[in-house]
Amino acid sequence: MASLADGFRKGRGALSNTESRFDSFSREADAAILADLEALHGEQPPPKTTVAIEPAKSIISRNQSPDVPFDQSINAYRGCEHGCSYCFARPTHAYLGLSPGLDFETKLFAKPNAAQLLEQELRKRTYKPSVIALGTNTDPYQPIEKKYQLTRGILEVLERFNHPVAITTKSFLVTRDIDILARMAAKGLARVFVSVTTLDADLARKMEPRASTPIRRIEGIRMLAEAGVPAGVLFAPVIPALNDYELENVLKACREAGATSAGFVMLRLPLEVHDIFIDWLGEHFPGRKQHVLSIIENMRDGKHNDAEFTRRMRGTGIFAELVRKRFDLACRRLGLNQERHALRTDLFNVPPEDGPQGSLF
């Protein structure tokens, strides 16, 4: 895996741009030519984020995994600018013929017809309402949402239909939509989990270079809770010997901000994520690399990843069991997860279509 030049690393998580696993050839930059170009023109600027418009054919994804608490989700974007080196969604860029490395963070796709397709789906006579999850693959409030507002458009549709939604995000931008979320929450139709992986701003910049800072995420929890939106904290991923020691402190800070529920997920390293994360780990924490990997092997049956349902999210072995017990004890002490009311589906209602003849059909 060829590493990127230092100028390409600033503000990015991946240190390489390895080819898609479906490519039959590989490319590698000519170091001598790059050196000559830099000497002639100066240092290359870091890559800019580009967004391609991708009209979608369908928008609701169905899920049958037994270890996730939803069966419907929407992803209005492909790729994610947050740049988390460990993001398990990175391999999806390979299906586009792009790299799960730097391309995943810089070559993004937006689905401008997401809200329109959602409304069409909800109007089908055969549609049966169940919670729709946002943020299951890429963050619905990543930076480009400020411009495209696809997530807000989706929420506007869900509110009109009285349809339940569950959101997971690392972005303070979710507070922009508190007006909609508060109205939906008052009917039992919305909840938000904010992912907080560390309280250390320096570590956060390395782990999630373009996500909101930890203090902003916690402030987001506070604002959501004060507006009556059920807010939770997701401590994910748990990275052994890197952020696991912060578990109790993160839960405490979020509980004090108003979080009432919590969850955690162990680090997962599927497909290309494996090499991207290990490359990142060696660059930022070379002294801890072997220790981190040895614990991962301990909780993944000697491997670095385990794709089996029920085990992939929590791991096995002594370390994984210790984290589970610490999490349970902290939740009991802090009063987290004491009550968890299911989002309502019984209020679902198909409103009249816009237009002068909408009420005739």
Predicted confidence pLDDT, tens digits, the chain (361 residues):
445 554 456 789 888 887 767 765 565 655 676 566 667 666 666 788 999 999 999 999 998 777 677 899 999 999 999 999 999 999 999 999 999 999 999 999 999 999 999 999 999 999 999 999 999 889 999 999 999 999 999 999 999 999 999 999 999 999 999 999 999 999 999 999 999 999 999 999 999 999 999 999 999 999 999 999 999 999 999 999 999 999 999 999 999 999 999 999 999 999 999 999 999 999 999 999 999 999 999 999 999 998 888 788 899 999 999 999 999 999 999 999 998 889 999 999 999 987 655 444 4
Give the residue among 58, 122, 118, 74 at the shortest CA–CA distance from 348: 122
> Looking at residue 3, what DSSP letter applies?
B
Side chain identity at 197, as an amino acid letter? T
Which of these, 77, 15, 80, 22, lies nearest to 46 by C-alpha position? 15
- Residue 9 tokens, joined: 């690393």
- Position 31 scores a pLDDT of 64
Residue with tokens 């997530």: 151
Distance of CA 125 to CAs 11, 222, 347, Å?
47, 39, 16
At 181, list the tokens. 């979320």
Q: What single letter denotes the amino acid at residue 4?
A: L
Q: 294-304 burial by CB neighbour count: b if 16+ within 10 A, else e? A: ebbebbbeeeb
Pairing of strands 231-238, 261-266: parallel
C-beta separation of 157 from 115 below 8 A: yes
Which residues lie below 8 Å from residue 224, measured CB to CB, with a gap of 6+?
Answer: 174, 175, 178, 181, 192, 194, 231, 258
Q: Burial, 332: exposed, middle or buried (Cβ in 10 Å; 0-12, 13-18, 19+)?
A: exposed
Question: What pLDDT, on the 0 to 100 scale, is given for residue 361?
Answer: 41
pLDDT of residue 183: 98
Tokens read off for 330: 């902290």
CA distances, 309 to each of 89, 137, 314, 315 (Å): 17, 17, 10, 10
Q: Which residues contact 332 (CB under 8 A, 6 or more apart)?
A: none
Note the pLDDT of residue 222: 98
Q: What is the pLDDT of residue 360?
A: 42
pLDDT, position 23: 67
Predicted confidence at residue 44, as pLDDT, reads 64
pTM of the complete model beyond 0.75 = yes
Averaged pLDDT of the chain? 91
228 backbone φψ class: left, alpha, beta (φ>0; ψ -120 to 50) = left
* Structural domains in the chain, sorted by start: 52-335 (3.80.30.30)
CA distance 66 to 215: 33
For the chain, report the end-to-end CA distance as a whole number of angstroms.
58
User: At a CB cut-off of 8 Å and minimum separation 6, what does 232 contact?
Assistant: 191, 192, 193, 194, 259, 260, 261, 262, 263
